A and B are shown apart, each in its own frame.
Chain A
Amino acid sequence: MMAIKVFLKEEIMEIIKTNKIYIVFLLFLFFGLSSPILTKMMPEIISQIAGDFQILLPEQTWIDSFNQFFKNLNQIVLIAVIIVFMGSVVGEVERGTALLVLTKSSSRASFIIAKFLAAVVILIISLLIAYAGCLFYTIILFPDVSFALSLQATLLFLIFSIYILSVTIGISAIVKSQIVAGVVTLGIYFISSMISLFNNKLGYYSPGRLIKCQGDILNGTAGLSDVFLTSAITIIISLAFLFLGIAIFNKREFYSNN
């Protein structure tokens, strides 16, 4: 536990000092603040573009604001998160910094767990601030905002993004280059999103369903109980990726990078 704490402190300091935090945090914040404003202005923007053509849009609501917010998080932000954290383990192996710390009597598992926890901490803080920003502007711009439903949809995003982080860190511990780590993790992310589109059991229980269901949660056609099993399976798959990464990393050999 002590080693995890020391590695975690180092990892969070690294994320801050190497500016990774600003990329993640600013992207979250940008979409948190811009989504409600863009949603509110959308009819006006479309009518400006359309010119003389009459395009009838349904009235924008707080649900559209949050749908826009999650659409951006599910795509642009998660891809950015993968790119930022894909080198967490393999990058240290490539640079040789892992070589010294892994001979200091701390377990290799603690090294990986700390990297995962640091990424989760940064993600949760960024998400909470972005959500607060989105909620604030949505309340100002739209009537009848449901705090509970928006929070439930955010919780689904959180579970899915923790799944993506466990894949990112797990793969980073398994492969031997950052590029391979990025390609494999992005591949798993896209496959996870695609499988959820299948109308069968595989689609129903796949992690991607969590982000697919955000809209249904927001408009009240689905509740958390509808995604309970999917959430549990997602958490199990996340742990499996992490344990697989640790198991393979434990058997890895490290060479001096001279």
Chain B
Amino acid sequence: MAIIEIEKLTKEFNGIRAVDELTLSIPKGSIFGFLGPNGAGKTTTIMMLVGLIFPTSGEARILGESIHGKRNYLKRIGFLPEVPAFYNWMTAREYLTFVGELFKIETGKLKSKIEELLESVGLKQEKKRIGGYSRGMRQRLGLAQALINDPEIVFLDEPTSALDPIGRKNALDAIGSLKDKVTVFFSTHILSDVERVCGEVAILNKGKLITYEKVKKLRQKYGGNCILVNLTEISEGLFDTLNNIDWIIGLEKSENTIKLTVNDTNRAYYELPKIFTSAGVGIIKLETIETTLEDIFVRMVVNDGD
């Protein structure tokens, strides 16, 4: 059953479409990755869904309720913007108490919920005012406030972008633990984060939906196979030759290494050594590697641009 249904949602700014007839249906309990380069329309989409900006046209239903109505669903969702801003004079406990009171959470229950959330985001011992927090600490507090009302859906806009590796791991663990309990709408440009926690992913580019699939299916469908070749040298001529071969669908170069995405691995094993030999370069190492979401994402966004 879909908990978020988006139908031809469009937002124009001065005649330019930031979100262009976006249609999505997100099932309950899923961790949904919303991917796209900067300016793709991810934040605009989330801001429309949480009622901060209004669509030019189209419809979205959250928990069965239209975003054009009274938006009573706001009581049942959580939201974390990319750069959460708090009252700097408050402490984390004071802020969570304030937010909890806005949700009319009963005092006793609120106190225990606050302690539980502060523990889970690693801010339990923090007594100082929010004004003295680092960006990472603010992000963690943002995650806590988004979960204060035990939401059924939580919208997270780039929740890990400001975190250090340990903070990111903790945040992703926390997001992953929500699976099957809370539907997570997770906007990000960090592909490894999506691979780690998301079951489904939509890729947005220039406001348009390029694809919406389960991560596994996306790999099968668009992944192809990746071959990493370490060569003695790489000439411009060789790179151009590879670029013009039809069974090579992706090509990246760094120093003496070429990463090729091919749609016919067997053919590549036979043909590639011949190509390198005729170009006069030696093969130091050749290996097959798994296609990452990043490869697919880059290819899809680049192709979409073409």
A104 touches B82 (CB 8 A): no
CB distance from B168 to the nearest CB of A (A): 18
How many residues of chain A get a CB closer than 8 Å to chain B's CBs?
27
Q: Residue among B71, B101, B145 with the most chain A CB within 10 A?
A: B101
Q: Which residue of B lies closest to A254 (CB)?
A: B52
Q: Which of B32-58 contact A (CB under 8 A)?
A: 43, 47, 50-54
Chain A residues within an 8 Å CB radius of B157: 256
Least Cβ–Cβ distance between B246 and chain A, in angstroms: 42
Least Cβ distance of B144 to chain A in Å? 12
Query: Contacts A103-B74, A106-B102; is A258 near B82 (CB within 8 Å)?
Result: yes
In the complex, chain A residues whose CB is within 8 Å of the CB of B77: 103
A255-B74 CB under 8 A given contacts A6-B98, A100-B145: no
Bound Cα distance A18, B72 (Å): 33
From A91-99, A170-178, A187-195, the one touching the partner chain is A91-99
Structural contact, B84 and A10, CB atoms closer than 8 A:
no
- The chain B residue sitting closest to A108, CB to CB, is B51
Minimum-distance CB pairs A-B, first 6: A96-B85, A105-B74, A253-B53, A105-B75, A17-B89, A258-B83
Chain A's closest residue to B46 (CB) is A256
Q: Is A2 an interface residue (CB 8 A)?
A: yes
Among residues 85 to 121 in chain A, which have CB atoms less than 8 Å away from a CB atom of chain B?
95-97, 99-106
29 residue pairs of the A-B complex, CB under 8 angstroms, read A6-B102, A10-B98, A14-B89, A17-B89, A18-B89, A96-B85, A97-B85, A99-B81, A99-B85, A101-B99, A101-B102, A102-B51, A103-B50, A103-B52, A103-B74, A103-B79, A104-B74, A104-B102, A104-B103, A105-B71, A254-B47, A255-B47, A255-B52, A255-B53, A256-B47, A256-B82, A256-B83, A256-B157, A257-B83
- Where the two chains meet, the residues of B that have a C-beta atom closer than 8 Å to any C-beta of A are 43, 47, 50-54, 71-72, 74-75, 77, 79, 81-87, 89, 98-99, 101-104, 142, 145, 157
Task: For residue A68, give the distance in angstroms from its CB to the closest CB of chain B.
Answer: 36
Do B87 and A14 touch (CB < 8 A)? yes
How many A-B pairs with Cβ below 8 Å? 77
Determine the chain A residues whose CB is within 8 A of the CB of B71 once the complex forms: 105
User: Which A residues, 232 to 258, have Cβ-Cβ distances below 8 Å to chain B?
Assistant: 253-258
